[in-house]
Structure 1
């Protein structure tokens, strides 16, 4: 690495890496509809809901909106923004509670898989580990292991089957 690049702040170094050149995340761009099933720590169903995710790359950043619809009629809208931190890792942030308190590191693994490590920004306790496996260009499977913020013990699971709709 030349001397001029090593003196740049981290944010400047990674502007040279293009998100559209990543192996997996660019294939997630589009609109996805998913059926989510939330389970407790013993794998008993707690709830089901549907979600529509709009994912895109704009100015070398990840832009994502989620619209979750619950059976009681409640609709939850969430926003996530991602910036590159290495050639296979993106840092997701959100202005929306409780996600605004989380550190979400998205790591590409191979050609079809990402792993998201979610931790508390203050305590650094792992809150969730999520995998997203791109089965085909139009179908992906997500699994989440969730942990208690107080002690890091298992609190439950989420499974999601998603299909690209646009």
Structure 2
């Protein structure tokens, strides 16, 4: 039986609220969008609960929620609660060492990799995320850089 999420090495270190900026780039690393976001992460009943609230320059505010369930001693499977499009994807997040989580997202229909994201917990107050997304043909579609600071535990 897999261990409890609270006993994982890296996920529990992310509990709290984080604020930061997100920069989306095309396949040539040209910036196409920049916005700020607040991310709340917690563990409840051995599940990872995450809420992302995005704040765009045009005044739009978008909120997405995710639930993660333990599937092994260092992995959780993530599902989007309120994003119908994400029903087409499988997301597995795996811990690496004592500070890194790598997310892989596959298209359920084709089995092809849609995106990979690495989160590096630099220290207790700062983390950096980089993401790569791919076309169905396996070519680089875009990149994302996310820099976050913990604003509450």
Do the structures match in fold with TM over 0.5?
A: yes
Matched residue SS, 2:121: strand
User: Which of the numbers 57, 63, 83 marks the counterpart of 2:43?
Assistant: 57
Residue in 2 that maps onto 1:159: 145
Q: Which whole-Å CA distance do the structure 2 matches of 1:52 and 1:36 have between them?
A: 10
Alpha-carbon shift at residue 99 of structure 1 (Å): 2.1
What runs of 5+ residues in structure 1 fail to find an aligned partner? 1-12
Residue in 1 that maps onto 2:59: 73
User: Which of the numbers 18, 22, 40 marks the counterpart of 2:4?
Assistant: 18
Alpha-carbon shift at residue 163 of structure 1 (Å): 0.4
Equivalences for residues 38-57 of structure 1 within 5 A: 38-57=24-43
Determine which structure has the larger helix proportion and give its number: 1
Q: Does 1:146 align with 2:133?
A: yes
Matched residue SS, 2:84: coil
Q: Which whole-Å CA distance do the structure 2 matches of 1:103 and 1:72 have between them?
A: 31
What runs of 5+ residues in structure 2 fail to find an aligned partner? none
CA RMSD across the alignment: 0.9
Matched residue SS, 2:71: strand
Alpha-carbon shift at residue 70 of structure 1 (Å): 1.0
Q: Which whole-Å CA distance do the structure 1 matches of 2:125 and 2:94 have between them?
A: 20
Q: Does 1:37 align with 2:23?
A: yes
Q: Which whole-Å CA distance do the structure 1 matches of 2:108 and 2:44 have between them?
A: 26
- 1:89-135 CA deviation, whole Å, 9 max, x = no partner? 00000131322321110000000001000111221111110000000
- 1:138-160 CA deviation, whole Å, 9 max, x = no partner? 10000001111x32211010001
Determine which structure has the larger strand proportion and give its number: 2
* TM-score (norm. length: structure 1): 0.88
User: Which of the numbers 65, 69, 82 marks the counterpart of 2:68?
Assistant: 82
- 1:52-97 CA deviation, whole Å, 9 max, x = no partner? 1110000000000100111111111101000011000000001313
Alpha-carbon shift at residue 43 of structure 1 (Å): 0.4
Q: Which has the larger radius of gyration?
A: 1
Residue in 1 that maps onto 2:86: 99
Q: Which whole-Å CA distance do the structure 2 matches of 1:54 and 1:82 have between them?
A: 13
